[in-house]
Chains A and B, each alone.
Chain A
Amino acid sequence: MWSGRQARFRPLACGVEELRRRRREREAALRKARREQHLVSKRLLREDAEGPCAAELLREVEVQQFLRLAQSGTDEKEREKALVSLRRGLQHPETQQTFIRLEGSVRTLVGLLTSNRALLQLEAARCLHELSHSEQSAVAEACLPATSYLLTYLSGHSSDFIELCLYTLGNLIVESEAVRKQLLPQGIVPALAACIQSPYVAVLEALGYVLSQLLQAKEAPEKIIPSILDSTLPQHMLRLMQPGPKLNLGVAVEFAWCLHYITCSQVNNAVLITHGALATLVLLLLDLAGTVQRVDDAGLELLACPVLRCLSNLLAEVPVESEGEEMQLRDERVMAALFILLQFFLQKQPSLLPEGLWLLNNLTANSPTFCTSLLSLDLLEPLLQLLPLSNVVCILVLTVLCNVAEKGPAYCQRLWPGPLLSCVLNTLTLSDTEVVGQSLELLQLLFLYQPEAIQDFLQQSGLQALEQHQEEAQLRDRIRALQQTAIHA
């Protein structure tokens, strides 16, 4: 059973249209950041605060008072209240600046963090968490003296506290390479490897988040991923992605993304394969396809996307069909699952269709078994239905069709007679050169292995369709060759 995330109800301060507009803005900002290659940045991590900062600005003398009271007050409750007031004040960026400029302030905070007063500890940790969010480097870096303690506390048992420490570490990791240069020798990887054995779902989700931030660092392929691959983290990650009654969607999403960042960095994917990554991913794919049919709109595409990516990238390294390779790579349920997910994307997230088709390409490229499955499961027509959606999708579908056609006459006999030829003639009318080029490749294969199709092609005014493009430099030679073949048939 999948336990979905609990949606937290926030009071709607604005209408649905306003929410949509804001979401579009956030999306545009993220897209821009990705193109500029700084998608992982403090500023983008939290949704921009709605309206001016709610926290009151504290004066320096007030900050001092709160700190003093928290540290050496006599009444437990008073100390706590002082820290709570300080924490609220620290939501304001200027108060953060005031705080770090006060001599000994961070030291005092670290002292409270490591004291034996549990509630003061918790509040001190929340203060640090606020500071760690800051976009001002000086403020976030002021938290560095606390990192050895944050890491130490990861092996404790208080799940709320561990979660808080993790999110604080996550913020600091994003801050700068200098911060990561401190965290790595301090043992963040072994600390995470120990913490990932926690039974608490919230802790695991936070840990997955921290790991995903660490893995996205620019220097990750050289400096971070090797030590992660050496640790027990990959085995635990895969364990937490196993479908079954204990699978938690939020946790699986985080670790699937972690796995994606590792695989696409192409450091040493063979290690992952020996840990059984392919088997786990295939099982998860099948499970996802089953779930999307039963559950409506649970954010499953957030998990489907990295799973598809990992499978595609790993399959590119492993020969799909060779001697002694495991059964799951010949299981036609994989084909069924993928098409069910393509349908799901079509309805919920069409921008993910190319990623699904990418997997389809990697499955079919060198696998007669999967090409046969596509035909025997009658998936040709559903595939053709995707052609008109966009140029990117069209090229990918045509590539998959070429994968099937190039396997020879037995395969082409299943491609024609049928609707395929008229669909390809439609794509010939498009103007995109790459689309047309891929169509020409498919036609060559079809004419070669199934010559009877040529007559049909001529009757459907195929030659006229070809003439449209015969002046195009990139297409000219291939068009001429096809025209020759068609005429001489």
Chain B
Amino acid sequence: MLFPPALCARLAGAPGAAEPLPVERDPTAGAAPFRFVPRPVRFPRDHEFFEDGDVQRHLYLQDVLTQVSEAPEKSMVPEFTCQVAGCCQVFAALEDYQHHYHMLHANTCSLCSRAFPSGHLLDIHILEWHDSLFQILAQRQDMYQCLVEGCLEKFKTSQDRKDHMVRFHLYPADFRFDKPKTSRGPAMPVAADLLARALQDDGAAMEVCSEPTALPPCTRTYNHRIPSTVCFGQGATRGFKSSKKKNKHH
């Protein structure tokens, strides 16, 4: 198509439009046997009008998904140790360390060293485990909140909460982050506890325990959560599909 030269300039110009020409219709316009009526058109989702565009979309998706299933190359570095107190895991790839840090240290309770997959679950843990005020209030009102994000229901006991999650949210009855407390002695010093846990059974490490026993009273004046805004030098835009990472160190 040959455009008038001013068109591209118009696009870059200011918003606005010329005053519309006067409209003046004759009643015989579009009258039988003619039938034209100006009409905006809607197409529903499965209309064949969309076929070509939909096919192009799916061709694109096929390429993307084929790339996604290939495991990414890792940035290999000289071996180093995780610097968090009590953790002695060794890593040779930055992505591995990043994942380790986020899963084990980012949402960790600084009082009992339990790690949680999200800030949401950590917050609930702190409330139900380390907050004596919670225990008091729980005797009088429904305090155990549903663990599913977006659900506002609260319950009198942790068992009631579990029943709700199983029946209403179709969660498994043995959901890992809602296990009843295993018998535990008085709290151990933090570093030793972490080390001990690092060598032990995997399953117990991440729990929201429902019935805490005697615990140090919570002082709410400081933040229990380790800040999650740690940059690992890869930058926020790096992702699963990033390509062409050079293996500098083998």
Measured CB to CB, the closest approach of chain B to A15, in angstroms, equals 18
Q: Whose C-beta in chain A lies nearest to the C-beta of B241?
A: A202
A273 CB-CB contact with B under 8 Å: no
Q: Is the CB of A160 within 8 A of B45?
A: no
Most chain A CB within a 10 A radius of its CB, from B4, B42, B106: B42
Q: Scan residues 257-278 of chain A and give those whose CB is less than 8 A from a CB of chain B.
A: 257, 261, 264-266
Q: Is the CB of B34 within 8 A of A362?
A: no
Q: Is the CB of A351 within 8 A of B21?
A: no
Q: How far is the CA of A336 from the CA of B115 in the complex (A)?
A: 56
Q: Scan residues 293-342 of chain A and give those whose CB is less than 8 A from a CB of chain B.
A: 293, 299, 301-302, 305-306, 309, 312-313, 315-317, 320, 327-328, 330-333, 336-337, 339-340, 342
B151 CB-CB contact with A under 8 Å: yes
Q: How far is the CA of A331 from the CA of B203 in the complex (A)?
A: 61
Q: Is the CB of B20 within 8 A of A121?
A: no
Q: Whose C-beta in chain B lies nearest to the C-beta of A205?
A: B239
Q: How far is the CA of A286 from the CA of B7 in the complex (A)?
A: 13
Q: Is the CB of A299 within 8 A of B36?
A: no
Q: Is the CB of A327 within 8 A of B15?
A: yes
Q: How far is the CA of A153 from the CA of B44 in the complex (A)?
A: 35
B residues less than 8 Å from A152 (CB atoms): 117-118, 121, 177
Q: How far is the CA of A122 from the CA of B38 in the complex (A)?
A: 58
Measured CB to CB, the closest approach of chain B to A160, in angstroms, equals 5
Known contacts A385-B1, A406-B38, A445-B36: A368-B58 contact under CB 8 Å: no
Most chain B CB within a 10 A radius of its CB, from A148, A257, A330, A346: A148
B59 CB-CB contact with A under 8 Å: yes
Q: How far is the CA of A130 from the CA of B41 in the complex (A)?
A: 43
B56 CB-CB contact with A under 8 Å: yes
Measured CB to CB, the closest approach of chain B to A86, in angstroms, equals 13
B222 CB-CB contact with A under 8 Å: no
B54 CB-CB contact with A under 8 Å: yes
Q: Is the CB of A336 within 8 A of B100?
A: no
- Choose among A115, A191, A205, A373 the residue that contacts B202 (Cβ–Cβ < 8 A): A115
A residues less than 8 Å from B242 (CB atoms): 6, 202
Known contacts A158-B99, A315-B40: A201-B61 contact under CB 8 Å: no
B62 CB-CB contact with A under 8 Å: yes
Size class of the contact patch on chain A: 35 or more
B240 CB-CB contact with A under 8 Å: yes
Q: Which residues of B contact A (CB under 8 A)?
A: 1-4, 6-8, 10-13, 15-26, 28-30, 33-36, 38-46, 48-69, 71-72, 95-96, 98-100, 102-104, 106-107, 115, 117-121, 148-151, 168-172, 175-177, 197-198, 202-203, 205-206, 228, 236-244
Q: Is the CB of A187 within 8 A of B62?
A: no
Measured CB to CB, the closest approach of chain B to A121, in angstroms, equals 6
B residues less than 8 Å from A118 (CB atoms): 96, 99-100, 103-104
Known contacts A265-B45, A336-B7: A45-B65 contact under CB 8 Å: yes
- Choose among B99, B106, B115, B172 the residue that contacts A148 (Cβ–Cβ < 8 A): B172
Q: Scan residues 403-441 of chain A and give those whose CB is less than 8 A from a CB of chain B.
A: 403, 406-411, 414, 438, 440-441
Q: Whose C-beta in chain A lies nearest to the C-beta of B71?
A: A126
A223 CB-CB contact with B under 8 Å: no
A residues less than 8 Å from B24 (CB atoms): 407-410
Q: Is the CB of A47 within 8 A of B44?
A: no
Contact with B along A179-193 (1 / 0, CB 8 A): 000100111011101
Q: How far is the CA of A343 from the CA of B95 in the complex (A)?
A: 44
A8 CB-CB contact with B under 8 Å: yes
Q: Is the CB of B30 within 8 A of A351?
A: no
Could you list 9 examples of A-B contacts with CB < 8 Å? A23-B59, A148-B170, A148-B171, A189-B150, A200-B236, A293-B8, A408-B24, A408-B26, A441-B35
Q: Is the CB of B3 within 8 A of A149?
A: no
B residues less than 8 Å from A266 (CB atoms): 42, 44
Known contacts A45-B65, A158-B103: A187-B151 contact under CB 8 Å: yes
Q: Is the CB of B239 within 8 A of A200?
A: yes
Q: Is the CB of A46 within 8 A of B22?
A: no
Q: Is the CB of B243 within 8 A of A408?
A: no
B residues less than 8 Å from A362 (CB atoms): 40-41
Q: Is the CB of A27 within 8 A of B55?
A: yes
Measured CB to CB, the closest approach of chain A to B58, in angstroms, equals 5
Q: How far is the CA of A444 from the CA of B28 in the complex (A)?
A: 10
Q: Is the CB of A316 within 8 A of B40?
A: yes
A161 CB-CB contact with B under 8 Å: yes
Other contacts beyond A39-B54, A206-B68: 18, CB < 8 A: A44-B58, A46-B69, A112-B202, A148-B172, A156-B102, A163-B239, A186-B148, A200-B239, A301-B56, A336-B7, A340-B11, A354-B49, A368-B23, A378-B4, A379-B4, A385-B1, A448-B26, A478-B33
Contact with B along A112-153 (1 / 0, CB 8 A): 101111110110001001100100000000000100110011
B residues less than 8 Å from A190 (CB atoms): 148-151
Measured CB to CB, the closest approach of chain A to B158, in angstroms, equals 17
A194 CB-CB contact with B under 8 Å: yes
B residues less than 8 Å from A158 (CB atoms): 98-99, 102-103
A157 CB-CB contact with B under 8 Å: yes
Known contacts A45-B62, A299-B60, A349-B56: A328-B148 contact under CB 8 Å: no
- Choose among A133, A149, A201, A373 the residue that contacts B176 (Cβ–Cβ < 8 A): A149
Most chain A CB within a 10 A radius of its CB, from B17, B42, B66, B202: B17
Q: Whose C-beta in chain B lies nearest to the C-beta of A358?
A: B41
Measured CB to CB, the closest approach of chain A to B19, in angstroms, equals 8
Q: Is the CB of B202 within 8 A of A46?
A: no
- Choose among B2, B12, B59 the residue that contacts A290 (Cβ–Cβ < 8 A): B12
Q: Which 10 A-B pairs have the closest CB atoms?
A: A202-B239, A190-B150, A477-B33, A115-B202, A408-B24, A155-B118, A158-B102, A118-B100, A116-B205, A368-B20
A280 CB-CB contact with B under 8 Å: no
B residues less than 8 Å from A264 (CB atoms): 42-45, 50
B residues less than 8 Å from A156 (CB atoms): 102-103, 106-107, 117-118
